[in-house]
């Protein structure tokens, strides 16, 4: 299955052993000779394995002794705690998130931002512009009439076929006709929610969650119920069960099983099976946002929630926005037993997607170049995440904590408790650095001392200087902080779990 | 202002004189010599004027006598009556339109359709595929990073600038920033309705109206109130006033002022001013669907409803779908005082539109080629409408009536009263011809004996044969009809106005 170069496969193999604790800091890696023998590889390949681990901060060479597992600098920041799940959550309607986001957007617009760490976005250079352009140009020559012909609602585009084929890897069997193209994952989520719930209904969401989802719920007049979510394993099933018992009438649950935004958590397969069964049992639709899976550092794509679905109760939503072409609005939804209703809502909302971009992306995805692009993208992001985490560990104040996620393009950073993320946002913006304060990701005060940092920009001296500057800003706020009663109050309220 | 060729300007001049009755059937047109002298044109230009009028059925050459105004065959079908406006309409919620449309769609899909007269669509050959392709190809060379860069929400694209400049011709002054690109006019209408009304609210619509609008209202849980609409002058202001007095709480009015779908009516400017004032006075948002204006056979673009707006109470929606590129989803909305709310809803629903197609269309629209394309398109459609109307007049049963609209790509045909459009639909589909039955355009029985016919396909022997066949089908149903009590009942209910 894995067609990446051999040295990369082996580097990943040892990296996972380090992450799992099989190899610990200070342990010696197998010698070059042992690597050659065990894996049947050449000396140069063995060297590449070690150097890859070294360049990403997982190993260090000691003269005449070989390579040793390094305790990465970033591990100086301890991992975050699990959330408390023994109290029923408060089903507050998100009446305020638009105002918060609007203020954020306004201040970003006029803040003279020079370094944007608030987005969750890869740099354009990470994506295959040339290949997409070539694909589009060829299609324009071969099928110019696509521009002047209204797209039929059910045409079998290469996009639908490519999505359907790749879904197999995640354990989903769906025909191209079940893949409904949408304008990004956000439209897919809108359609899914409109199909299964009405204004006034309650929808359970992860907490913290992607503020775009909170906006969608608010704009549809639905009530968001925040369910505590682990930075490691994602949505707490215990907390969801508690909420079901306490409130009963939950119409849907929205979950990002892989590389949750903003936490970066990955739900274990055993949790997925339980979650699918739980939703089925209690008549709650399960809406899966599968946008980040291809950004996972894993040799195999883990199974989607949808792959555990036997009754059509799971609606699977995703897009190519983060993995292939941020400039093309190509999402899709596979709506299970709500297919006809979602298809109708899509038609009444925006009609069928344009065909040209579907063809261009679909034809590209059917080639080996797409998998090569994805490997390159994952490699770049892994390195960028590692460097960003190192920088945070080095420059942020004592008490800062992070979980280094196993993929994706962002870091979720817990500041010392007494430090308000909004204060950090204010101070950083004055120096033209933008961060996403935790207050955008929950309507509770649970995330008031967190910030989300983008890792999508290629490493550069300017980026390094910006992170260092951000660390200094944060450190000086932390040093000055404890006496402020407002911050004190927020810090108490924001305590994650103890 | 008018940069069309001189002969075309003059042909239009005489055509309007004929339509206005200044020149009547049998009148002699000015001689070639007189035309040359009066207008300072060459003999060949004068000949082109006469031949243009002849080829479109407005004039005929008589040997040695010159050109005479012809009584067009289509005038054998008398124009339709005005609707009754002396009873308050029934504010029925459209609970049924989806089922009707879904059945229609299903039957279309499996009906083996060979001639689709049900769409409202121009043939791909009517649109400038080559020029759009060249524009896109150039952009892909110059700005490939557009494919891999997420579109910023407020970028000044050439599309926004072109729309803003062309709006001046319709009396609207708006900055490019007020032009919000959407996925077609349908998304613009969705956003406008969501901004001004909530589920359960009542929205006034023209009757008959575009079934897509009824679907949108139903999907949003809003109640549609049908207001009688004149086939000549559009929405009846008297009927709207009556509805306001009778029901009060109408949140919005949706109007197609130019080439209403399906009637083809054009609202006089005096009505526009009154309508804008009436909506303002009663706190009803006025949503203008301006999709067809560029398809009007008129030397000047008439003023938009929005041009009469002084308080931001008019939301202007339109798209390029029917006029430039049916394969590109390029609409826009100028939301007046709801701008911020519509911008937010657009962001939460589908994010910003892709930039590439905006740039391609906008750059093309800024050239003279766009106006040349529009003139060509209008000429083609005028000729196709005239021929379709001729064919209907020649082949449909006695009692059939049509209004030949002054532009656009469809005809609204009134069958003899005893004839059910659904029966015509059934019988035609058995012969693989698709028509849009009037039942789709109203939830009342008002339109049960109407059909809408597309005029967007270039004239061909196959099209002519299909229309002849449709006429025969209709005639034989009409001959067999009167005894059926069901049809009798429908016919009575559907009487338009007498």
Picking from A121, A144, A355, the nearest residue to B133 by CB comes out as A144
Is A151 found in the same domain as A24?
no
Chain B nearest-CA residue for A348? B216
Q: What are the beta bridge partners of residue B252?
A: B203, B285
Instruction: Classify residue A24 as exposed, middle or buried by CB count within 10 Å of its CB (0-12, 13-18, 19+).
Output: exposed
Picking from A121, A146, A147, the nearest residue to B150 by CB comes out as A121
Q: What are the beta bridge partners of residue B338?
A: none
CB proximity list for A240: less than 8 A, separation 6 or greater? A204, A227, A253, A275, A278
Q: How confident is the model at residue B128 (pLDDT cuts 50, 70, 90)?
A: very high
Best residue of B137, B139, B144 to probe chain A, by most A CBs closer than 10 Å: B144
Q: Do A186 and B128 touch (CB under 8 A)?
A: no
Q: How confident is the model at residue A20 (pLDDT cuts 50, 70, 90)?
A: low
pLDDT at A91 over 70: no
Q: How confident is the model at residue B72 (pLDDT cuts 50, 70, 90)?
A: low
Is B408 found in the same domain as B265?
no
Best residue of A96, A120, A349, A358 to probe chain B, by most B CBs closer than 10 Å: A349
Q: How confident is the model at residue A56 (pLDDT cuts 50, 70, 90)?
A: confident
> In this complex, how many residue pairs, one in chain A and one in chain B, have their CB atoms less than 8 Å apart?
163
Residues in B touching A321 (Cβ below 8 Å): 150
Q: Quick one: what percent of chain B has pLDDT higher than 90? A: 71
pLDDT of residue A96: 65
pLDDT at B497 over 60: no
Is the CB of A325 inside 8 Å of chain B's CB atoms? yes
Q: Residue B1 domain-assigned? A: no
Task: Give the domain CATH number at A326.
Answer: 3.40.640.10
Residues in B touching A347 (Cβ below 8 Å): 215
Would you say A45 and A38 are in contact if contact means Cβ atoms under 8 Å apart? no
Mean pLDDT of chain B: 89
Beta-carbon count within 10 A of A42 CB: 11
pLDDT of residue B3: 63
Q: How confident is the model at residue B368 (pLDDT cuts 50, 70, 90)?
A: very high
Is the CB of B144 inside 8 Å of chain A's CB atoms? yes
Token pair of B308 as six digits: 């009469």
Is B401 found in the same domain as B306?
no
pLDDT of residue A79: 72
Is B101 found in the same domain as B238?
no
Is B482 found in the same domain as B423?
yes
CB proximity list for A470: less than 8 A, separation 6 or greater? A117, A395, A428, A433, A435
Token pair of B253 as six digits: 């009015």
Domain boundary among A313, A347, A367: A367
pLDDT of residue A272: 98
Is the CB of B124 inside 8 Å of chain A's CB atoms? yes
pLDDT in tens, A388-406: 999 999 899 989 999 889 9
Least Cα distance to B459 among B51, B149, B29, B115 occurs for: B115
Q: Quick one: what percent of chain A has pLDDT higher than 70? A: 92
**If DSSP states are collapsed to H, E and C, what string results for B91-123?**
CCCCCCHHHHHHHHHHHHHHCCCCEECCCCCCC
| CA distance, residue A115 to nearest chain B CA (Å) | 16
pLDDT of residue B19: 66
Is the CB of A124 inside 8 Å of chain B's CB atoms? yes
Mean pLDDT, rounded, for B306-331: 97
Q: Quick one: what percent of chain A has pLDDT higher than 90? A: 70
Domain boundary among B367, B400, B423: B367
Is B341 found in the same domain as B259?
yes
Q: Residue B149 domain-assigned? A: yes
pLDDT at B138 over 90: yes
pLDDT in tens, B447-490: 999 999 999 999 999 999 999 999 999 999 999 866 444 433 33
Would you say A441 and A209 are in contact if contact means Cβ atoms under 8 Å apart? yes
Is B393 found in the same domain as B460?
yes
Q: How confident is the model at residue A490 (pLDDT cuts 50, 70, 90)?
A: very low
Q: Residue B439 domain-assigned? A: yes
pLDDT of residue A483: 45
Q: How confident is the model at residue B16 (pLDDT cuts 50, 70, 90)?
A: confident
Q: Residue A399 domain-assigned? A: yes
pLDDT at A214 over 70: yes
Picking from A98, A130, A221, the nearest residue to B144 by CB comes out as A130
Is the CB of B380 inside 8 Å of chain A's CB atoms? no
Is B359 found in the same domain as B388?
no
Q: How far apart are CA A221 and CA B338, in angstroms?
A: 18
Is the CB of A216 inside 8 Å of chain B's CB atoms? yes
Mean pLDDT of chain A: 89
Chain B nearest-CA residue for A121? B150
Q: How confident is the model at residue B71 (pLDDT cuts 50, 70, 90)?
A: low
Q: How far apart are CA B178 and CA B183, in angstroms?
A: 16
Domain boundary among A367, A384, A412: A367
Residues in chain B: 498
Best residue of A348, A356, A376, A458 to probe chain B, by most B CBs closer than 10 Å: A348
pLDDT in tens, B262-296: 999 999 999 999 999 999 999 999 999 999 999 99
Instruction: State ipTM.
Output: 0.85
Count Cα neighbours of B89 within 13 Å in the Cβ-side half-sphere. 35
Task: Give the domain CATH number at B109.
Answer: 3.90.1150.10
Is B308 found in the same domain as B164?
yes
Is B323 found in the same domain as B268?
yes
Least Cα distance to B30 among B71, B72, B66 occurs for: B66
Q: Do A219 and B348 touch (CB under 8 A)?
A: yes
Q: How confident is the model at residue A109 (pLDDT cuts 50, 70, 90)?
A: confident
Q: How far is CA A152 from the centre of its chain?
A: 33
Chain B nearest-CA residue for A361? B147
Q: Residue A202 domain-assigned? A: yes
Is B178 found in the same domain as B262?
yes
Number of domains in chain A: 3
pLDDT in tens, B52-61: 888 777 788 8
Q: How confident is the model at residue A325 (pLDDT cuts 50, 70, 90)?
A: very high
Name the residue range of residue A216's domain. Answer: 128-367
Q: How confident is the model at residue B375 (pLDDT cuts 50, 70, 90)?
A: very high
Q: Do A124 and B215 touch (CB under 8 A)?
A: no
pLDDT at B427 over 70: yes
Is B80 found in the same domain as B65?
no
């Amino acid at each position: 299955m894995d067609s990446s170069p051999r040295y990369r496969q082996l580097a990943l193999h040892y990296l996972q052993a380090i992450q799992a604790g099989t190899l610990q800091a200070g342990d010696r890696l197998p010698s070059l000779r042992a690597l050659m023998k065990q894996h049947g590889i050449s000396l140069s390949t063995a060297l590449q394995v070690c150097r890859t681990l070294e360049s990403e901060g997982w190993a260090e060479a000691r003269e005449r002794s070989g390579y040793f597992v390094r305790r990465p600098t970033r591990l100086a920041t301890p991992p975050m705690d699990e959330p408390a799940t023994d109290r029923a959550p408060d089903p507050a309607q998100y009446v305020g998130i638009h105002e918060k986001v609007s203020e954020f957007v306004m201040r970003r617009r006029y803040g003279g931002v020079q370094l944007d760490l608030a987005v969750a976005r890869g740099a354009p250079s990470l994506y295959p512009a040339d290949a997409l352009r070539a694909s589009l140009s060829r299609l324009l020559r071969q099928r110019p009439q696509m521009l002047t012909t209204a797209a039929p609602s059910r045409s079998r585009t290469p996009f639908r076929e490519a999505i359907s084929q790749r879904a197999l890897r995640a354990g989903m069997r769906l025909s191209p006709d079940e893949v409904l193209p949408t304008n990004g994952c956000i439209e897919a989520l809108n359609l899914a929610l409109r199909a299964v719930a009405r204004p006034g209904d309650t929808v359970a969401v992860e907490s913290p969650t992607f503020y775009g989802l909170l906006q969608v719920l608010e704009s549809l007049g639905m009530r968001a119920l925040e369910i505590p979510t682990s930075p490691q394993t994602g949505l707490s099933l215990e907390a969801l069960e508690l909420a079901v018992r306490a409130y009963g009438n939950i119409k849907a649950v929205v979950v990002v099983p892989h590389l949750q935004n903003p936490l970066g958590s990955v739900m274990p397969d055993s949790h997925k099976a339980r979650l699918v069964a739980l939703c089925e049992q209690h008549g709650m639709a399960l809406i899966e946002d599968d946008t980040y899976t291809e950004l996972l550092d894993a040799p195999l794509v883990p199974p989607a929630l949808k792959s555990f679905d036997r009754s059509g109760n799971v609606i699977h939503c995703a897009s190519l926005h983060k993995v292939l072409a941020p400039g093309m609005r190509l999402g899709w939804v596979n709506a299970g037993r709500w297919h006809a209703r979602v298809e109708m809502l899509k038609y009444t909302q925006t009609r069928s997607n344009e065909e040209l971009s579907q063809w261009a992306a679909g034809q590209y995805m059917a080639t080996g170049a797409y998998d090569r692009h994805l490997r390159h993208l994952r490699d770049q992001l892994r390195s960028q995440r590692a460097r960003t985490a190192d920088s945070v560990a080095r420059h942020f104040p004592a008490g800062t904590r992070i979980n280094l996620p196993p993929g994706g393009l962002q870091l979720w950073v817990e500041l010392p408790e007494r430090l308000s993320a909004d204060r950090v946002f204010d101070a950083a913006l004055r120096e033209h650095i933008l961060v996403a304060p935790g207050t955008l990701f929950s309507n509770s005060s649970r995330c008031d001392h967190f910030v989300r940092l983008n890792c999508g920009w290629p490493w550069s001296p300017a980026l390094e200087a910006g992170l260092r500057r951000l660390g200094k800003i944060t450190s000086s706020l932390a040093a000055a902080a404890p006496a402020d009663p407002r911050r004190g109050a927020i810090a108490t309220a924001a305590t994650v779990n103890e």
